Amino acid sequence: MTPAPPPASLLDASLGRPTPLAADRPSAATAVLTELDGRTVALFRVHGAGATADGSVEAEVVVRAFEIATEAGCPVVGLVHSVVVPPTEGGLAGLVAWGRVAQRAVALSGVVPLILVVTGPCHGGLAPLFGLADHVVLVRGATTYINGPKPVAAVTGLRRTPEDLGGAAVHATVTGLASLLADDEEDALAAVAELLHHLPDNNLSEPPPGPTDDPTDRACSAGPAAVPASPSAAYDVRDVIEDVVDRGSFLEVHAHHAPNMVTGYARIGSRSIAIVANQPWVRAGTIDIAASVKAARHVQAADSAGLPIVTFVDTPGYEPGRDLEWRGMIRHGAKLVHAYGEAVVPRICVILRKAYGGAYIVMDSRDLGSDLVLAWPGAEIAVMGAPGAVAILNRREIASAADPEAERLRLEDEYRLAYCTPRIAAERGYVDQVIDPADTRRIVAAALERLRHKRRERPARRHSNGPL
């Protein structure tokens, strides 16, 4: 659903009066309870540190916005431009004040959505605050980084522009900080409104239902047709996702970061869900560090928002490479295991084609706690694919054959039929049901309805100790 454009002046739609701080210095910072596309939000706007020398007043306005959101039980939306704590004697007060902002942002995490919009440069020690947000929308032309071109040049000798260090393109692709990009502030607010269509007001509520005339028992045809029979052929998994969910409801986030993993929001039967999917179109859908962290973050965010998670699986496994291992593939890969294992919301897994080895485990497998695991008839669920297994098990047999290539293909076919079908996994209870791909939407919708009131209590503890 495309959201209606926001009011020409967002503050004109105010439901309450600006705070005294905002009223005193409206050009520098404001905090107000208002509406955005029909949703009540606590909106703050910070533009520079012009009201005071150290930016402490602006920080207090942001804290006030968090207090408003806590009292009203509504999302926080912040528009930030040119927040800098100057290196003066009075700057320490600004650092202390922005420390309070960080503490309150952590306290709000999982209680109400926090969405920040970067409309201009925002540099220095305050930039990590954007990492605490549920979603960040960057306006093209905006920049955010911790160390700017001069410190980088002084330490490394390399000359970099602000856009090279922290432009919108960098945060959309390399760092993954930006959930969505926008052309200007109005476009950014429209993007925020679209995100809010899929998110609840707070942890005790559900997202508003989205109007649809798409029947939940509609047969899927485009998705199954998009998946090639050959396990090595590429396709765009978004064709499957869009065929299963309510028409026009899929909103992809972090689309250009770790594109071998797709994350986003959608609806099935008007109810908001979170989507995680391997992307065979990019590097065959293998899982690397960036993909693991991206998916883990999305699963954790969905669980905190109470959104059911639907996972589409088609991956040959973790991407191999010394560089990945040295950078911590084990530890970062465990983040996705931890996120799924800790999630208590309804979880449904659909194995489209390949689910091999450790990647099978991590992509919301049955014993990781998934509520329902479905498989299409052509799915291959095994420790490894037929080519790899045959190369290990039948090496000598192939080498001594009169026609090694023909023998290899024959053995691969035999292995695939014997070990790579979903039948064995279903017989052993690892897969709940092998389904006709055309029935995917109907079965997933019915399962989501049955799981609507799922309750799973976490054990009593301070908190888990995840692989950060």
Domain boundaries, the chain: 10-196, 222-385+420-450
> Annotated catalytic residue: which of 48, 73, 120, 125?
125
Note if 369 is an active site residue.
no
Q: pLDDT at residue 439 above 70?
A: yes
Name 153's Cβ contacts closer than 8 Å, sequence gap at least 6: 159, 160
Backbone dihedral region for residue 428 (phi beyond 0: left; psi -120 to 50: alpha; all else: beta): alpha
d(Cα 189, Cα 323) in Å, to the nearest integer? 39
- Report the range of poorest mean pLDDT among 90-99, 131-140, 383-392: 90-99
Residue 86 has a pLDDT of 58
Residue type, 322: R
Note if 306 is an active site residue.
no
Residue 57 has a pLDDT of 79
Q: State how beta strands 39-47 and 29-36 pair.
A: antiparallel
Per the prediction, the chain carries an average pLDDT of 87
3-state secondary structure of 184: coil
> Annotated catalytic residue: which of 358, 369, 388, 466?
358
H helix count then E strand count, the chain = 18, 16
* Tokens 């970099």 belong to residue: 160
Q: Which residues on neighbouring strands pair with residue 434, listed in sequence order?
A: 375
Q: 457 pLDDT band (50/70/90 cuts)?
A: confident
Residue 106 has a pLDDT of 95
Mean pLDDT of 249-271: 98
Note if 176 is an active site residue.
no
Residue 274 has a pLDDT of 98
Q: In terms of pTM, does the model score above 0.75? A: yes
Name the residue among 271, 254, 268 with its Cα closest to residue 306.
271
Residue 14 has a pLDDT of 38
- If one compares 364 and 400, the residue with the highest pLDDT of the two is 364
Name the residue among 352, 334, 366, 230 with its Cα closest to residue 279.
352
Please give the angle made by the CA atoms of 410, 376 and 379, to the nearest 5 degrees.
35
Share of the chain above pLDDT 90, in %: 63
DSSP H or E run through 229: none
> Annotated catalytic residue: which of 305, 359, 425, 447?
359
Q: 48 pLDDT band (50/70/90 cuts)?
A: low
Tell me the C-alpha to C-alpha distance, in Å, between residue 165 and each of 60, 148, 151, 169: 29, 7, 11, 10
pLDDT for 361-392, tens place per residue?
A: 999 999 999 999 999 998 988 877 778 788 88
Q: pLDDT at residue 88 above 70?
A: no
The CATH number of the domain covering residues in 222-385+420-450 = 3.90.226.10
Residue 54 has a pLDDT of 61
> Annotated catalytic residue: which of 55, 78, 94, 124?
124
Note if 359 is an active site residue.
yes
Q: pLDDT at residue 51 above 70?
A: no
| Alpha-carbon dihedral angle through residues 276, 336, 204, 33, given to the nearest 10 degrees | -80
DSSP string over 249-290: --EEESTTSSTTEEEEEEEETTEEEEEEEE-TTTGGG-B-HH
The reply to whether 10-196 and 222-385+420-450 are identical in fold is yes
d(Cα 143, Cα 371) in Å, to the nearest integer? 42
Residue 343 has a pLDDT of 96
DSSP string over 353-407: EEEEHHHHHHTT-GGGT-SEEEE-TT-EEESS-HHHHHHHHSHHHHHTSSSHHHH
Superfamily of chain region 10-196: 2-enoyl-CoA Hydratase; Chain A, domain 1 (3.90.226.10)
Q: How far is CA 259 from the centre of its chain?
A: 12
